[in-house]
Homo-oligomer: A and B are copies of this chain.
Amino acid sequence: MVSIGVLGYGVVGSGVVDLLQKNGDKLRQKLGVDLNVFKILVKNLDKHKGRSPLLTNKAEDVIHEKVDIVIEVMGGIDPAYAYVKKALVMKKHVITANKDLVAAHGEELMALARENQVCFAYEASVGGGIPIIRPMTDSLAANDISQIAAILNGTTNYILTKMYKENMDYKAALQEAQRLGFAESNPESDVMGYDAARKLSILSTLAYDQKIDWKEIDVEGITHIDAQDIKYAKKLGCVIKLLAISKKKGDGIFAAVRPVMVSEKGPFGQIDNEFNGIMFQGDAIGEMMFIGKGAGKLPTASAVVGDIVHIVQNHKGKYGKVIVERKQPCHKWENPFQWMLRIKTDDRYKVMGSISELFSINNFMFDDAQDKGEVICVVEIENELSGYEKLRHLEAQGYIKGIKKIMKLEEIAS
């Protein structure tokens, strides 16, 4: 059994506890060991009354001899910083989702972890559920990274998306974001770009092997962007995004957070709402991009639990069974989709008639250059088996010389 202490029971903390519960069987099978929550620290026991029998208001119940891994999801510097240091000194592995803490004291805490031969993991501090810290520290470690460009703040991306798609002005979009819980009542850290700067500092420090202090990053927020700016950007085929950019140039490193006009059709143009997107340029991999949910209860919890899995596998040497149970996949798509059909025939009118009878929705395509011996149409299919059944009916009619079909998937395309 691996015993886990949790500091904080807010959005992320409760997400971690829920996710360990929900996918506990899967994790047990993978790791060959139970992940067990030992205690959960909250400030005010009364406020959380009845939510869990594991609650405590004493930090020493969580940072405890019996605990293997301490998860810090309180946020802020004080008392998180002191708690994390205490846990590391007690030789507990520590996982944090706290970007403020990592941006301010990350290197000190990593050094302390190393000294005590434990792990300090912080995947959830940047990009929410997107795996980015570990890919940078191992999978991409062979690369000399020359540039990072990223949408790292979900709140501002949500506001800018609303402004762009629904022609809202900044204030209305901010209020909408606050109403839906995407922005805090005091949104300063997000809308002024400080949150993005902290995350950029964490990524840049890893990328360039030099500490980039977030307070030294040039920051411009989105509070001055108005509906008219968005309108002009659209005219230019652009969308305005709050980008965090850092870039090597000779010995120098450029780093800034700024609203930037980028092409609607480019890699950042379609990363909307609470999604984050992180692009790298490495000398071996070239350009690479990660896109996913940058915030929220379960995406962030996913990153925290991913760190638990990493620690249990690599630092506690636990592994479950290798999967050898075979599964025969099925070959037929079971959801609705469309087919583009190209039907060779000498009697186009009869074919069009039959198609209209067989398929509920259909769109015939006409093309000047088209072979007159062909009917082209897009038909709606309930599922692939029923689609093949209908094609058999069609073929049985005799005046058809051949059918070619290509699947069209809205589900994956959108």
Which A residues lie at the B interface, using CB under 8 A? 15, 19-20, 22-23, 26-27, 29-30, 107, 110-111, 114, 123, 129-131, 134-135, 137-144, 149, 204-205, 208-213, 216-218, 224-225, 228-229, 231-233, 235-236, 238, 240, 243, 245-246, 249, 252-256, 258-263, 265-270, 279, 282-293, 298-299, 301-303, 305-310, 313-315, 319, 322-334, 340, 342, 365, 367, 376, 378, 404, 406-410, 412-414
CB-based contact B284/A299 at 8 Å = yes
Indicate if the CB atoms of A23 and B408 lie closer than 8 Å.
no
CB distance from A268 to the nearest CB of B (A): 7
Q: What 6 additional pairs, Cβ within 8 angstroms, besides A228-B342, A285-B299, A287-B293?
A: A22-B144, A111-B322, A137-B313, A224-B404, A249-B334, A258-B407
Residues of B within 8 A of A414 (CB): 263, 266
Q: A138-B134, A323-B107, A329-B253 are in contact. Are A406 and B290 (CB under 8 A)?
A: no
Question: A301: which of B238, B284, B286 is its contact (CB, 8 Å)?
Answer: B284
Q: Are B376 and A142 in contact (CB under 8 A)?
A: no
Q: How many copies of the polypeptide does the oligomer hold?
A: 2
CB distance from A298 to the nearest CB of B (A): 4
| Chain A binding surface, main DSSP class | mixed
Query: Which listed residue, B243, B322, B324, B330, touches A412 by the CB 8 Å rule?
Result: B243
CB-CB < 8 A to A409: which residues of B? 243, 260-262
Residue of A236, A303, A323, A376 with most chain B CB atoms under a 10 A cut-off: A323
Question: Out of B210, B406, B412, which one reaches A325, CB within 8 Å?
Answer: B210
| B131 close to A135 (CB less than 8 A) | yes
- Contact B143–A302 (Cβ < 8 Å): yes
In the bound complex, CA of A114 to CA of B32 (Å): 13
Min C-beta distance of A126 to chain B, whole Å: 12
Q: Which residues of B contact A141 (CB under 8 A)?
A: 27, 30, 305-306, 309
